[in-house]
Structures are given as C-alpha cells and as structure tokens.
Chains A and B, each alone.
Chain A
C-alpha cells in the first residue's frame, strides 16, 4: 500500500507537472501565470514534506519565502498584463512575437 509521504510527493509532482503543462500550452497570459502558481505550490508541498522527513524547520521557512515571492510576482505580473491589455487589446500570447529571432 502507498505511504503517506509517497502520496504527498505524488500530489506535489502532479501539481508541478500540470502547472508546467498549463504554462507551456495555454494561449492566454493570465492562465499561463496560473500555471506558474501551481508549480510554486508543488514546490511548497515538497519543501514541507521534506522538512518533516529531515526533522528540521528549514522546509517551512523556505515555504514562507517562496509564498512571499509568489505573491509579489503575481501582483506585479498581473499589473503588467493590465497595461498590456490596455495597449494591445489582447492577451493572447501568440501576438507577442516581436522578440522572436
């Protein structure tokens, strides 16, 4: 039978992979950002579980920092998306190809 730690690691891996897939395959920028948040959540889960396995508090401390950075980054990214939407009228990622080689 499956152990609790394996279950939680599996959930974390699922979250990470679904986040990565969302980020790479969605057309809308906002949904891609949601993928990033999912990835960060998967990482947080791994950190907390690893902290429990190694029996020290570093896991939780790192989780707090990751959460903080995720919050700041989501806020700023969404502000930038609002400005992009105002300027270009669309958030579909295919239209933003001017930097492509």
Chain B
C-alpha cells in the first residue's frame, strides 16, 4: 500500500476519471429531469458511481456499505415509492426565481473548493502509506466498540426508533377494526 501519495496528490487514474464523470452526470440528471422515475434511477447511478470512487481510493469497506445501504436499500425505496404513488412527470414549469439559488450554490462551491483544496498540501511528501486509514472490518469493529462506543449505541437507538416509527406510521392508517 505504498501508493499513498499517488492516491491523493498524484494524477487520478482512468477509473477515477470515469467514476467522477458518471457521478456528476447522474447528479445532473437528477437535477434536470422532470420525471420522478428518471430522477430515482439517476440517483441510483450516482450512488453507484460514488461507490466506485470509494473503491478507487482503496476503501472497499465503505464502498460495499455504500452499495448495500444506499444503492441497495435507499434507492430501491425511492423507486418503490415513486411506483406506489404513481408520481407523474411534472408538467408545469419550475418555480420562477431560481436564479439566486444558482448564485448562492456557486459561491458555496467556490468557498468549499478553496478550503478543501488546501488540505491536499498537508500530505507530507514521502512514502507514508494511507493504510492507517484503511482498516480492516475487524479493526473498525474494535474501533466502534472502544472509541466510538457512544455514537454506536446512539445509532442503534436511532435505528430502533426509526423501526418503531415506521411501524406506527404503517399501522396508523388502518381502520379501528383492523387493528389487532
């Protein structure tokens, strides 16, 4: 794993270029398309491209989790809801007065770029490898159970609360007769 500086300050590989292009392309489709199902499928494409970017950084764990949770569950849920509610393509034009949003986004993007690009110079020249940031699943597990114990338990409680909420929301619309 001594391609460390290559992954951060070196030139991007072809795979990184392709994945980046697709990520931006699909995000553009989500923004531009007026058909909700196209937006949902394009969201799936973005999530997959982002997972590909994680794989190109050598971080297989996060990439697999991204496909498992985001692309395999959240995007499927979105497609499901669009199909269930039969959302039609919107016929009316978008809200007028969108231009200030573009300006604002451009400013935010510029500021973020300014800050983030500077951190790349923090990589010391030399052959330190990034393997310290690419732990194995066992090491992450030990990390979660020792240093990140509190957020881990809190996340567990959050998911539990979400499950309860989903059950309550699903049963809420049943008539009084059907509740058992």
Task: For the complex, give the distance between the alpha carbons of A67 and B43 in Å.
Answer: 15
Smallest CB–CB gap between A67 and chain B, Å? 5
Contact size range, A: 35 or more
A28 and B133 contact, CB distance less than 8 A: no
* Chain B residues close to A by CB (< 8 Å): 6-13, 16-17, 20, 23-24, 27-28, 30-31, 36, 39-40, 43, 46-47, 50, 53-54, 57, 59, 61-62, 65-66, 69-70, 73-74, 77-78, 81-82, 84-85, 87, 90, 92, 94-95, 98, 101-102, 105-106, 108-109, 112-113, 116-117, 119-120, 122-123, 128, 130, 132-135, 139-140, 143-144, 148, 151, 155, 158-159, 161-162, 165-166, 169-170, 172-173
Chain A residues contacting B101 (CB-CB under 8 Å) are 20-21, 24-25
Task: For the complex, give the distance between the alpha carbons of A51 and B176 in Å.
Answer: 52
Tell me the total A-B contact number using a CB cutoff of 8 A: 240
Smallest CB–CB gap between B58 and chain A, Å? 8
Q: Which secondary structure dominates chain B's binding surface?
A: helix
A76 and B30 contact, CB distance less than 8 A: no
A52 and B39 contact, CB distance less than 8 A: no
Chain B residues contacting A3 (CB-CB under 8 Å) are 8-12, 120
A13 and B7 contact, CB distance less than 8 A: no
